Amino acid sequence: MPSKKIKFNEDEIAIFDDAVIYKRGNYWQFRIWLAKERKYARFSLKTKSRSTAEDKAKLHYHELMALQMQGKSYFSKTTKDGVAMYLEQRQKDVEAELIVKGRYSTISTHLEHWLNHVKKDTKLKELERTDCENYFAERTKTKKGLKISQTTVENEQSTINAMMAWLYKRKETYIDGFDFKKLPKLDRGKEENRRDLFTDAEFKAIADELDSYIEDAEKDLSNDENLVQAITGYYLGFNSITGLRRGEQLQLRWSDIEEMEHKEARNKKFDLLKITIRGETSKVRKTRKVVIKDTGYFAGLLKLQIGRLGEDVKEKDMQMRLGDNLMFSANNKNPITPRAIGYHFDKLLKLAKIKNLETRDLVPYSFRHYFITKRVNSNLPPAAVAEMCGTSITQIEKTYYHTTEEKMVSNALADYEYKDGLLIPK
């Protein structure tokens, strides 16, 4: 309990003899001497009402005294400290294989945005439920004018309140979450409320430009920047033909890939790749196998490794030698960074002359979006696409289904057939 004899000014109101409330401008403030820490605790009560200020001050007084009795410090935790504590716990979840590294990275990014909103030196004990009521409005006003989707903000708010509930259980905050404003229900049928998508022509332009982008980098792989550019180029190309999540692909090992050969009628051959996405690297924690057509990105990346080695080695032997090394890595141990992926992706879009970049939400993840959308609109069953891409049927239908003109026409003609130049009901 505090033992310092408090002297009050005329404009101060005593709270239990050893704390005071007073006005600064129009708002009431709280001050109390904490004997064990030999410091004053001062903070705003965020109200203009004297009666409300007195009620809140008494509540804070009892909570502070309880902390003092438990030997806990009021001054030790800021919002930055709270985020660090929570991320430390989530890192343990990664090590226990309860969440994947990609999920941890997403949580960290969400909370970094929150720290920018509430400020890193704000005391956890001073947070109130209403402090983030304008989070959506401020989060979507970015300095660079980039479009932030409502879904992205909703996901961030969910992460923030999960952290607050965790901190509250450990008595680090007085609240267990924020009262975010209820956002309007999204009309998922409108294209602008779905993830932005490449057109077929844009996708082709990017693929064409990507070949030159990699080729230019491979002219001098002794240059570290060129090496990263080439590997990132192969990463983007491989991503465009597999639709893998970033975390899944960055953790791919050479041993996860198996080359196959497939023959169809008339002895037409296809070079195929069987990819094993290990459960510990997948967002859904389930191992799956995917077979894709090899368009040269895997073979090109393997040849790059052979060229760096400077030996005359067969591709199969080289893949066996690389074994459990990471595929998309400049040193076989650490994957290329998300920053490098984003940087080279942006450069590639400009080289491919993709229009209206400043108003579109095109990101490396758009390759996965395009991959899934194309397969759904090619009349593959949503269940088959969901299994291939490691997601749910609901997510496929809600997020990825884009109705094209061709598909609408196909649907309109579904109950008819052409015969002798006429459209006849079946």
Residue by residue, DSSP assigns 363-422 as -TTHHHHHHHHHHHTTT--HHHHHHHHTS-HHHIIIII----HHHHHHHHTTTEEEETTE
- pLDDT band at 226; cut points 50, 70, 90: very high
Q: What is the pLDDT of residue 330?
A: 92
Q: What is the mean pLDDT of residues 131-155?
A: 79
- pLDDT band at 422; cut points 50, 70, 90: low
Compare 267 and 21 and report the one with higher pLDDT: 21
Q: What is the pLDDT of residue 423?
A: 47
Q: Is 30's pLDDT higher than 80?
A: yes
C-alpha to C-alpha distances, 422 to 343, 406, 409, 415, nearest whole angstrom:
54, 20, 16, 14
Q: What is the pLDDT of residue 268?
A: 57
* Residue 323 CB neighbours (<10 A): 10
Q: What is the pLDDT of residue 3?
A: 47
Kindly state the percentage of the chain with pLDDT values over 70. Answer: 84
Q: What is the pLDDT of residue 157?
A: 96
- The model's pLDDT over 285-342, given as tens digits with 9 standing for 90+, comes to 889 998 888 778 999 999 998 888 777 778 888 888 899 999 999 988 899 999 999 9
Taking alpha carbons only, the member of 350, 355, 391, 354 closest to residue 373 is: 391
Q: Is 236's pLDDT higher than 90?
A: yes
Kindly state the percentage of the chain with pLDDT values over 90. Answer: 45
Number of H helices, E strands in the chain: 15, 9
Q: What is the mean pLDDT of residues 124-136?
A: 90
Q: What is the mean pLDDT of residues 366-390?
A: 86
Q: What is the pLDDT of residue 302?
A: 92
Compare 15 and 70 and report the one with higher pLDDT: 15
Three-state SS sequence of 180-198 = CCCCCCCCCCCHHHCCCCC
The mean of the pLDDT values for the chain is 84
Q: What is the pLDDT of residue 20?
A: 93
Which positions ≥6 away from 291 have C-beta within 8 Å? 260, 272, 273, 274, 275
Q: What is the pLDDT of residue 388?
A: 87
Compare 174 and 145 and report the one with higher pLDDT: 174
Q: Is 17's pLDDT higher than 80?
A: no
The contacts found for 56-59 with CB under 8 angstroms, 24 or more apart, are: 56/30, 57/15, 57/19, 57/21, 57/28, 57/30, 58/15, 58/16
Say which range, 103-107, 289-293, 415-419, has the weakest mean pLDDT.
Answer: 415-419
- pLDDT band at 2; cut points 50, 70, 90: very low
Compare 211 and 146 and report the one with higher pLDDT: 211
Say which range, 28-42, 177-191, 212-226, 293-307, has the weakest mean pLDDT.
Answer: 177-191
Q: Is 419's pLDDT higher than 60?
A: no
C-alpha dihedral sign at 120, 124, 127, 129: positive
Q: What is the pLDDT of residue 374?
A: 86
Q: What is the mean pLDDT of residues 332-353?
A: 93
Q: Is 7's pLDDT higher than 60?
A: no
Q: Is 240's pLDDT higher than 90?
A: yes
Say which range, 326-340, 342-356, 392-406, has the weakest mean pLDDT.
Answer: 392-406
